[in-house]
């Protein structure tokens, strides 16, 4: 074992260093220093803020009026495809540009939901179907060739979004009813407590 060598009265004495117990040593190493502590606090607070903003954004994107906007974009895509197919696939530059814009909006929407919902996004069959369908429409003609009328038929399967909007309204109404019921029960409880106090004062 290593130590300090001290010479006293022509004798050599070896002073052994005290060893730190392994548990205490690991605790000291894991404990942040005075310089690292502020950085750790800043990182935790920053992560908490980001997590909070993501939760707010995910709640906002699930609001019925936002879902209705996305639903209208889907319906606009179906209408434009129907017009294009009814005219024999002949379209002008304005129609093509509008259709491309709608496809890009749908892609942005799905990407945003993918970032916000993460695992829940990929576990939802409707969102997965939309992602595959929109991706096929965007890259159709570049990497593969799918007939437009086949994609148009598949687009009608996106009616699940209308059901999703209805379910959102129903969930909101149920939540409001439960909140009203809870507030009513609290008022009744406070009223009963007040009556008990009045009876106690009368008896006194």
Q: Is 1 a residue whose pLDDT tops 60?
A: no
pLDDT tens-digit readout, 31-78: 555 555 556 666 678 888 888 888 888 888 888 888 899 999 999 988
Rounded Cα gap, residues 74 and 94, in angstroms: 19
Integer CA distances (angstroms), 28 to 25, 38, 39, 46, 168, in order: 5, 17, 18, 26, 52
- For the segment 85-99, the average pLDDT, to the nearest whole number, is 76
The pLDDT, as a whole number, for residue 132 is: 93
Give the chain's domains with CATH numbers: 48-158 (1.20.120.350)
The answer to whether residues 162 and 71 touch, using CB atoms and an 8 Å cutoff, is yes
Rounded Cα gap, residues 167 and 148, in angstroms: 31
What's the predicted TM-score (pTM) here? 0.61
- For the segment 153-170, the average pLDDT, to the nearest whole number, is 87
């Amino acid at each position: 074992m290593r130590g300090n060598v001290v010479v006293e009265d022509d004798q050599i004495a070896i002073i052994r260093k005290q060893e730190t117990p392994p548990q205490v040593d690991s605790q000291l190493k894991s404990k942040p220093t005075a310089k690292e502590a502020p950085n750790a606090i800043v990182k935790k607070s920053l992560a908490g803020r980001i997590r909070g903003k993501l939760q707010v954004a995910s709640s906002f994107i699930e609001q019925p009026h936002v879902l209705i906007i996305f639903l209208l974009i889907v319906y606009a895509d179906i209408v434009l495809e129907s017009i294009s197919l009814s005219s024999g696939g002949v379209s002008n530059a304005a129609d093509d540009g509008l259709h491309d814009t709608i496809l890009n909006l749908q892609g942005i929407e799905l990407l945003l939901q993918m970032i916000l919902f993460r695992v829940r996004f990929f576990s939802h069959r409707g969102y997965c179907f939309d992602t595959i369908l929109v991706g096929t429409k965007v890259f159709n003609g570049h990497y593969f060739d799918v007939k437009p009328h086949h994609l148009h038929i598949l687009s009608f399967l996106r009616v699940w979004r209308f059901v999703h909007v209805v379910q959102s309204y129903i969930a909101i109404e149920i939540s409001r009813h439960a909140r009203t019921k809870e507030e009513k029960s609290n008022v009744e409880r406070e009223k009963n407590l007040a009556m008990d106090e009045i009876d106690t004062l009368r008896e006194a």
